[in-house]
Structure 1
Amino acid sequence: MRAEAPLLEVHDLSVSFRSRGRYIPIVEKVSFSVGSREILGIVGESGSGKSVTAMAIMGLIDAPDVKITGSARFRGQELVGLPQKAFRHLRGRDIAMIFQDPMTAFTPVYTIGWQIDEQIRAHEALSKTGARARTVQLLGDMGVPDPERTANRYPHQLSGGLRQRAMIAMALSCNPVMLIADEPTTALDVTVQAQILDLLRNLRHNYGSSVLLITHDMGVVAETCDNVMVLYSGRVAERGPGEAIFAQPAHPYTAALLDSIPPLTGPRPARLPSIAGSPPAPLERPSGCAFAPRCHYAHESCVMLPPLISYGSQDVACVLPVEGRPLPPRVVADVA
């Protein structure tokens, strides 16, 4: 039986911004795929290129001083270089985005219901009454109390959790086959965060959607994602099945991110380990491994840019596995 083709297939995607007469690479040769009903987590610190990657795929970076190269094929259709008119037919209907801050993503002068109604009517031949009925139903499906009343409220009148639910309802309004969720739990308390993650996990069962989840929180990834891609300074550090990466990370950066999660079993450390320093600015990236200045395992081989190689079920951009010096084993229960 022939394997099902990926829903989204990204190959060598690069995004560069023009500054001081030259193009500065922000995202470099990022490759990954998302299958049907799959949840892929893209994780990394702020500035690693997660949101830029998503916005390039969605065609939301449309400026003369930006250069996007590589390939991003959605259902076989090339998105890189696609005209904005064609993108408008795809966005919302086939592929939708849950933005990081719904307070700024929603227009403040229109009600929540009006904005969701508008998207539905832009893509489907529904009357105002029909669109409003679907809006109210979607808000109710997302767990919004009294959805009819909430639809008539403005964004500033809702709590952060309700705004995020309304944003997810808007993204689902035309039954897209793929959702890109950019830090959907940022600035939410832990109870609301858990509710939003439950919603994302249920999307593939209730709506048949695939999800590209962007976050800096490895705990969120552990709870939610099938596969994981770790970005560092605009490049892929590691990617592979979530179980394998959490059980035995192959890249020191991945291991350091996992060590920052409080253990659920055993003694709790007085202080969690932290990664010294900060990611390099795009203009200050070293010629070799960008993580080397912060890495406990760095040595002379790290002055060369490591290629992305296969290591078990994972792909990793590090010289340690090549040299036969993998990272020490992890205790799986500490990160479960």
Structure 2
Amino acid sequence: MSTDTHSPPLLDVRDLSISFTSRGQNIPIVENISFSMAGREILGLVGESGSGKSVTAMALMGLIDAPGVTITGSVRFKGQEILGLSARQFRALRGREIAMIFQDPMTAFTPVYTIGWQIDEQLRVHNSLSRKQARTRTIELLAEMGVPDPANTANRYPYQLSGGLRQRAMIAMALSCNPSLLIADEPTTALDVTVQAQILDLMRKLRTTHGSSILLITHDMGVVAETCDRTLVLYSGRVAEEGTTQDLFAHPQHPYTAALLASIPPMSGPRPERLPAIPGGPPQPAERPVGCAFAPRCTYTHATCLPAPPPPLHVVGPDQRVACVLPTEGTPLPRQACSTTSFAV
């Protein structure tokens, strides 16, 4: 693990809130999310579908411009406030300083242009390269990503490539201008296990070869364990817990974090016939309870969890914070079998 923790944060997000207006009602999607990222750090952003992970990433990239959307808070990148930049200012920032690997490369790529043309275009726009220089660099990038026969692959259309090759091409395009921050939204979704392992290994090498920090968005706690330095757990648009990945896996302080970890098959000992499942589902944004949003699904719920506003994040360890009353009450959570996961960060 090689992060620059003594320098000012590369990315500093404070009280980020995103809400949508529907039928005259203001519906909060993300509420008061705060986190920071150091240089060369890999931060995991985890939670079930609908927890606010992808919409947070879209806000960081300046890709939410629909009418009826309200975004408040502060997002500072390299010390500069980027929340509220104009579309033109964001276009200059995207690709060159902040890049994103989208969840589905098949729909993220333009289907009527070849893979090479789309990477060439980004290089020419941001790096002012000639056509020949851009194509040479495109082939080099595809080769670095482990794409076989990169010169011929560059001339193919997205539909002509497998899922794994499209994902590698998407990473190549994201890294074409050596961005300082790479946002990876579910980069291993719909890939087979072998290709997943290759993509994760490739991402771990990115900060070494390119010096990039990576915000890894996923619902797969196993992926987080093998890849991330720190982890931020979201539930229903709010931060439930954050800390170093090793501490969070070994000593989860929020019942939701513990439940997510319990869903991972143990790395040693007898394998259970059925993995534990969290009953119910996350509330709809317009139907969140007044108190803790996880309370209806939590086995530790008691009277103080329901009527009062959700507790703020408070420190429970040197690098761990949690939004739950249980740690302050001294209620221990069971140590999860998955805490024996081997860490490769």
Structure 1 and Structure 2 fold alike (TM over 0.5): yes
**Deviation for aligned residue 1:20:** 1.1
| CA deviation string 1:2-57 (max 9, x = no partner) | 93001000000000001111210000000001100000000000000000000001
CA contact (8 A) 2:262 2:337 kept: no
Q: 1:180 aligns with which of 160, 178, 183?
A: 183
Q: Which runs of 5+ in 1 are unaligned?
A: none
Q: Does 1:226 align with 2:232?
A: no
SS of 2:122's equivalent? helix
Q: Does 1:310 align with 2:297?
A: no
CA contact (8 A) 1:265 1:333 kept: no
Name the counterpart of 1:116: 119
Q: Does 1:60 align with 2:66?
A: no
Distance across 2 between alignment mates of 1:271 and 1:327: 21
Distance across 2 between alignment mates of 1:194 and 1:173: 22
Q: 2:9 aligns with which of 6, 11, 28?
A: 6
SS of 1:289's equivalent? coil
**Deviation for aligned residue 1:331:** 4.5
Q: Which runs of 5+ in 2 are unaligned?
A: none
CA contact (8 A) 1:258 1:335 kept: no
AA aligned to 2:61 is: M
Distance across 1 between alignment mates of 2:133 and 2:121: 12
CA contact (8 A) 2:232 2:241 kept: yes
AA aligned to 1:125 is: S
Distance across 2 between alignment mates of 1:248 and 1:329: 7
Distance across 2 between alignment mates of 1:310 and 1:231: 17
AA aligned to 2:213 is: S
Alignment of 1:197-236 (within 5 A): 197-236=200-239
Q: Does 1:289 align with 2:295?
A: no
Q: 1:280 aligns with which of 283, 301, 305?
A: 283
TM-score, structure 2 normalization: 0.96
CA contact (8 A) 1:39 1:211 kept: yes
- Percent identity over the alignment is 72
CA contact (8 A) 2:240 2:323 kept: yes
| CA deviation string 1:230-258 (max 9, x = no partner) | 00000000001001000000000000000
Q: Cα RMSD over matched residues?
A: 1.0
Name the counterpart of 1:107: 110
Distance across 2 between alignment mates of 1:329 and 1:157: 47
Name the counterpart of 1:30: 33
CA contact (8 A) 1:221 1:228 kept: yes
AA aligned to 1:310 is: V
**Deviation for aligned residue 1:328:** 2.6
Q: 2:49 aligns with which of 34, 46, 51?
A: 46
| CA deviation string 1:78-111 (max 9, x = no partner) | 1111111100111000010000000000000000
TM-score, structure 1 normalization: 0.98
AA aligned to 1:112 is: I
Distance across 2 between alignment mates of 1:255 and 1:228: 13
Q: 1:141 aligns with which of 136, 140, 144?
A: 144
SS of 1:122's equivalent? helix
